[in-house]
Chains A and B, each alone.
Chain A
Amino acid sequence: MKSTETVVKVENLRKTYNADAVAVHAVDGISLSIEKGEFTAIVGPSGCGKTTLLNMIGGLDRPTSGDVYVQEVSIGSLSEGDLIDFRLKHIGFVFQAYNLLPVLSAEENTSFIMQLQGKSKEERSQRARQLLKNVGLEGREGDKPAQLSGGQQQRVAVARALASKPNFIIADEPTANLDSHSTSNLLDIMARLNEEEQMTFVFATHDQRVIDKAKRVITLEDGKVITDEIRS
Chain B
Amino acid sequence: MLYLRLAWRNLWRNRRRTLITVFAVAFAGFFVIAMRSLQTGAYDNMVRNTVGTYTGFLQVHQDGYWDEKIIDNSFEESESIRETILQQKGVSGVSPRITGFSLLSYGLKTRGVQVEGFNPDYEAQLELEERVVAGTGRPEYGAVIGSDLAEYLKVEVGDSLVFLGQGYHGQSANALLPIEGIVSLSSPMLNQNTAFINLKMAQYVFAADNRITAYAINTEPDADLYEVESKIREALNKGELEVMNWQDMLPELVQSIQADSAGGILMAGVLYIVVGFSLLGTFIMLAAERKREYGMLIGLGMRRGQLMRLALLEASALAVLGVLLAVVLTRPLTLYFHFNPIQFTGQAMEALREMGMEPSMPASIDWSIPLTHGAILLVLTLGISLYSLVSIKRIQPVNAMRS
Contact = CB atoms under 8 A, between A and B. Distances in A.
Interface of A: 55, 58, 60-61, 81, 84-89, 91, 93, 95, 98-99, 101-104, 112-113, 115-116, 160, 164
Contact of B301 (A61, A84, A99, A101): A84
Interface string B239-263: 0000000000000000000000000
B296 A85 contact: no
B292 A88 contact: no
A193 B29 CA distance: 56
Main secondary structure of the interface of B (DSSP, over half): helix
Contacts of B306: 116
Interface string B128-147: 00000000000000000000
B266 interface: no
B10 interface: yes
B151 to A, nearest CB: 71
A138 to B, nearest CB: 24
How many interface residues does chain B have, given as a range? 20 to 34
Contact of A98 (B292, B298, B300, B303): B292
B296 A95 contact: yes
A113 to B, nearest CB: 6
Contacts of A61: 398
B13 A88 contact: no
B6 to A, nearest CB: 7
Contacts of B296: 95, 98-99
Contacts of A164: 301
A60 B301 contact: no
Contact of A87 (B9, B300, B401): B300
Given A61-B398, A103-B13, A88 B299 contact: no
Contacts of A86: 301
B302 A84 contact: yes
A158 to B, nearest CB: 13
B301 A85 contact: yes
A88 B293 contact: no
Contacts of B178: none
A17 B61 CA distance: 86
Interface string B1-34: 0100010011001000000000000000000000
Contacts of B6: 101, 103-104
B397 interface: yes
A89 B302 CA distance: 11
A92 to B, nearest CB: 9
Would you list the 5 A-B pairs with minimal beta carbon distance, nearest first? A88-B301, A103-B9, A87-B301, A61-B398, A60-B398
